[in-house]
Structure 1
Amino acid sequence: MKKVNVLFFIYELGAGGAARTLLNIINHLDRTRFNPILVTLNFDGAYEQDLASDVKMIKLNTQRLRKAVFPLAKVIRKENIDLVFSTQFPDLNVIAILGNFFSFTRAKSIVREADHFGGGFRTNAKLLITGLFYKYARQVISLSEGVKENLVRRYKVKADNIKVIHNPVDIENIQEKMNEDIEAEHKNIFATEEPVIITAGRLVEQKDQQTLLRAFAKVNQQLKSRLLILGEGPLLESLQQQAEDLNVKERVYFIGFQDNPYRYFQRADLFVLSSKHEGFSHVIAEALASGTLVVSTDCHSGPAEVLNEGEFGTLCEVGNETQMASQIVEVLTLSDQQRVDSVQKGYKRAHDFKAEHIVQQYEQTFMDALGSG
């Protein structure tokens, strides 16, 4: 039986949930049936070192997405691609569809929507146009029910054309990496009886670390603790200034992007997500797999699904630092037995997203796309 050549297209294999998702799919794909080929723009991504050694990786000779159409089409022809799979954000999916169209081959397109996109009139109008392009994809994949609802409402994609497949979590890899030693300069953060709160994500408006800092300042009025922030982004200096203005500068640690965040998750007492919107919130599932308790905003679309409406973690209102602070204190003051029980429940929940199981759903979707004409 001829192997199916699957081209995976992403902006770069850099930091972020979409990149980790793609990495998990590619690395766990059944090699007896599929031959994965990764294509990115001309960037060096942080997760490239984790890509399986048998995967062919091609970088297009451009760093501008709109100039990627014809180089991508050329790769599709040259590599005899059967399926073009794209993910990360709508513009990239459109480029993938166009690249496939101009390849003049019989390759099928599959697009995956990775977040709950939307906004003002111009943004929503653009999403409607994106929806027209999505009609040329053989399959649209949503990573959560909330994102699916958004695709139907804003993109006008028919619900029957959307399949929900949650993010795959590589639990074995997390278990292995979380036991690695942390950097020497960070050990002092955990060398304390004070609880350590951790968060991870790009330092951008979407992640709303501003609300987390305000909540953390309130927490310290009741319970002295520390906050560890993993991630890079344009808001670093303003967040550092905010921490100083809130008089918690000495208790907040900005340590940048970490290619192995799990060793930090495992040592922390609580993971907090303060986002304004998410697609699935891969990082919450990873925190649960690391044995870390979770407090998250109940934002569109993923956290409530991952935590099953609060069964496996605590949900609070977006932007409400008072409620977030109260829930942080509540979790940090659980009894030892309550904490053990909650950690075990969360770890069990993480197994619902185990990579091997989720990737099988992707494999079946790939075969269905090829077998439908």
Structure 2
Amino acid sequence: MDTSSRDHGYPAPASRRRSGVDVIATADAVRRNVEQVIEGKPDVVRVATTVLFAGGHLLVEDVPGVGKTVLAKALARSVDASLRRIQFTPDLLPSDITGVTIYDQTSGEFRFRPGAVFANVVIGDEINRASPKTQAALLEAMEEHQVTIDGTTRALPDPFMVVATQNPVEMDGTFPLPEAQRDRFMAQVSMGYPSARAEFDMLEHHGVTDPLGTLRPVTSAAEIAACVSAISRLHTSDALRQYVVDVVSATRQHPSVRLGASPRASLQLLRAARAHAALDGRDHVIPEDVTAMAPAVLGHRVMLRRGRNDLNASEVVADVISGVRVPTQRASR
């Protein structure tokens, strides 16, 4: 870690005045707010917060009952913004997500009825229980922040974030997410079971009242949009960008990988690294920001070869990172 960079914390006071928002204070407030509900999972909360401030989408995968939806709700309720939840089921239609044009008999005109995707934060609960056709309704929205219906393109609110939960594919009633759908999520996290202590505290604190019921917003949609814009301008050297390219390219050449990470993954990894640096108080990206976010950003994009069970996706990403030359601190500035 480049400790000297602490003398140049991001954003510097002048930068904060220009942007009109304190990125670090805002991010810390969101993180602490979410941790009131999600106990004993600081790493998961950190990744979720980083994705929010990077302007990306988050996929939360794990077995039922470990707090996937609670994490999504806590993150969404920490922002004073429009929120919609979509419960994905096998009979859910694409028009339920994007909207539909209907005929108004009173006025004699066709009117557009917006779907659930028209919100700042969209929670997609158990996204892989819907059919691939319905899942695909989110593709344009997640990539271009717009939807096209009956030849008319409509912009989505800014900021726009999808936080989706899914159960493991091996469980009954699930459909695998298409590669194109998975690739649009900036990062994927797994909740995992809580520690014994965290589970004991949960029984004490959550057994009587629902902590989500008392959770209040600590920032606004406008502040989040300003933070995302400020973070996108964070300094990144040529050497650091080449490091991102080298890491992503190495996933395509790994012997255990059938399909490596896409060029979109390079863009997402750089955006996530910028947000990680900003939340750490630095005004530039260092290699540690890339390696910190690479498992969450690349793991769900790596498709393993059938019959190669010696490594899982997380181990492949770790193997890739260990084999790529890290630029020096001087070059990365």
TM over 0.5, yes or no?
Answer: no
TM-score normalised to the size of structure 2? Answer: 0.25
TM-score normalised to the size of structure 1? Answer: 0.23
